[in-house]
Chains A and B, each alone.
Chain A
Amino acid sequence: MDFLAEAFRRAWGLLVAGDSEVYGIALLTLKVAVVATVLSCAVGLPLGYFLATRRFWGRRAALTVVNTALAFPTVVVGLLLYGLLSRRGPLGGLGWLYTWQAIVVGDVLLALPIAAALSAAAIQGVDPRIRRTAETLGAGSWRTAWTVAREARFALAAVITAAFGQVVAEIGAAMIVGGNIRGSTRTLTTAVALYTAQGDFGLALALGLVLLMLALVVNIALQVLQGRGHA
């Protein structure tokens, strides 16, 4: 117990003192998570809407693929991406391996199925008359989609939260394609793993607490946004 208490004390001290390493890692994690969440939702939400509302050949298969991708192991995504981004890989020319951009790509690949599959389910839950009504009142495709999305706003906010949760907590891909380079690609999860392995439990715990607070703040922010909505 003393050991844990000591770790907590150290963690608190690092946070209060504004330790540059801790906050540097936290900021990088936030940057990667926000960019990856925005990108995955920018593609995933429209894709989910499309899958939920359009009838086309292969739709069921597409939904199955997206749902299966929900369970994609993060290390496998990291491995595949490593193959693509490595110097001899087809995307090696980009020079993105061991950069934060590579982590973003990995995170987007992992969060995209979440955004697409869960938003498809959310849109399917909207009364189909909403879409028909928007259309019969003359709304074009975008306006109709926006109207339907407004009706599913709570569920879609949960989708964004889930995507952010996936991205911020992900470690496999970040470790493999990011390389956990200090000051460059070290994120909260990779740092926690590293410092725990090195026996610096206090620092690892401080970073873990920051990670938890980050998730908490984002969730509270989304809840506040949801609370502003009326029926």
Chain B
Amino acid sequence: MLELRGVRHRYEGRVVLELEEFTVPRTGTVSVVGHNGAGKSTLLRLLALLEPPTEGQVLLNDTVVPRRAPASLRRRVTLVEQRPVLFRGTVRENLEYGLQVRDIGRAAAKGIIGDVVERLGLQPLLSRRRHELSDGEVQRVAVARALVLRTDVLLLDEPASSADRAAAGALYRALSAERAARPFAVCIASHQLEDAYRWADDIRALADGRLSPVTPENLFRVELPAGDGVKTVRVGSIALVVMTDRAGPAVVAVPPTDIFVSREPLPSSARNVFKGRVTGLAIEHRGAGVHVRADMGGVELVAAVTAEAARDLALTPGGAVVFSFKATAVQVF
């Protein structure tokens, strides 16, 4: 288990990260979401023990990590940066690097590397050098280089940012296979919510270096029934109409901007229409937008409208409101 306690981290006097507590559970998968500059990469560098926090502590399995973390502790955590680099030499030499550092013999190293190479489809790249690889391939090699180390904690900073969809899928499948074979903690920082949903035991949002109480809105874990096309799933007390061919456990998300807000139900093509009461109004985007929170019978939904629309609808906390959205607006992950 990797923990940050009472951390305040500064760069050139400016606080860039402030976390009372942040934990990556022993075999958990944590996704940290946030915009560029929210502090995700800084958080991962602290968790990777690459730099000590200006204030506060890092704990690895309940042991406080010294300010200058010894290599023995650093070897239990590894980080794949957002734009990873490969060392001089072949892909194979890169994959061997961390194993050599750990004094793992050639035969054992070959076996470990072989498994990961197979999972990530890197066989054709093994004798290539970094200038012969695409950005996506570099990213896959970097993930493989981290996976072969079998660390307790794997930190990934935007692991699929340079990969196309197929490559990203292969990457995540390889991670799943690795975790199935050997449970370990994973913490992924991403500004792509899809990555987060795919992995999240726990999604945490970071904004301006702080954990934001506002997690990505309208996210629900559901059990999708078998079959193709339009399906109805229960989310608490409401029934959500979703269009997907997928079945089984999934995360569904309704983008707040896709929700149509009115005072009364209106005739429309929307398959999802929920009546409820406004629980909060938050001004966003320097006053141009308003986030309308509403309780739809025990389930909170958030819709985004313009400030002008909010005024015209005379939305007030406690007032009646109707949220409508199409089945195709519901994203399934």
Residues of B within 8 A of A73 (CB): none
8 Å CB contacts to B: which residues of A85-140? Answer: 127, 129-130, 132-140
B67 within 8 A of A: no
Residues of B participating in the A interface, judged by any CB pair closer than 8 Å: 45, 48, 50, 71, 74-75, 77-79, 81, 83-85, 87-89, 97-98, 101-102, 129-131, 145-146, 149
Residues in chain B near residue A133, CB distance under 8 A: 81, 84-85, 87
A133-B87, A231-B131 given; A138·B81 CB < 8 A: no
In the complex, 30 of the A-B residue pairs with CB atoms within 8 angstroms, ordered by the A residue number, are A127-B85, A129-B84, A130-B85, A130-B87, A132-B45, A132-B79, A133-B84, A133-B87, A134-B87, A134-B97, A135-B50, A136-B48, A136-B50, A136-B74, A136-B78, A137-B78, A137-B101, A137-B145, A137-B146, A138-B71, A138-B74, A138-B98, A138-B149, A139-B101, A140-B71, A143-B101, A150-B88, A151-B87, A229-B88, A231-B88
Q: Known contacts A135-B50, A139-B101: does B87 contact A147 (CB below 8 Å)?
A: yes
A193-231 interface code vs B (CB 8 A; 1 in, 0 out): 000000000000000000000000000000000000111
Extra contacts besides A133-B87, A137-B145 (13): CB < 8 Å: A132-B81, A133-B81, A134-B97, A135-B74, A137-B78, A137-B149, A138-B75, A138-B101, A138-B102, A138-B149, A139-B101, A230-B88, A231-B131
B186 to chain A, nearest CB (A): 15
Shortest distance from the beta carbon of A151 to any chain B beta carbon, whole Å:
6
Who on chain B is nearest to A132 by CB? B50
List CB contacts (< 8 Å) of A123-168 with chain B. 127, 129-130, 132-140, 143, 147, 150-151
| Known contacts A129-B83, A130-B87, A133-B85: A138-B78 contact under CB 8 Å | yes
Q: How many angstroms from the CA of A137 to the CA of B146 in the assembled complex? A: 7
Q: In the complex, A150 Cα to B83 Cα: how many Å? A: 20
A33 to B100: give the CA distance in the assembly, Å: 36
- Chain B residues near A143 (CB-CB < 8 A): 101
CA distance A134 to B50 in the complex (A): 10
Which 8 pairs between the two chains have the least Cβ-Cβ distance? Answer: A138-B75, A137-B98, A140-B71, A136-B79, A129-B85, A138-B101, A139-B101, A231-B131
Which single residue of chain B is at the shortest CB-CB distance from A127? B85
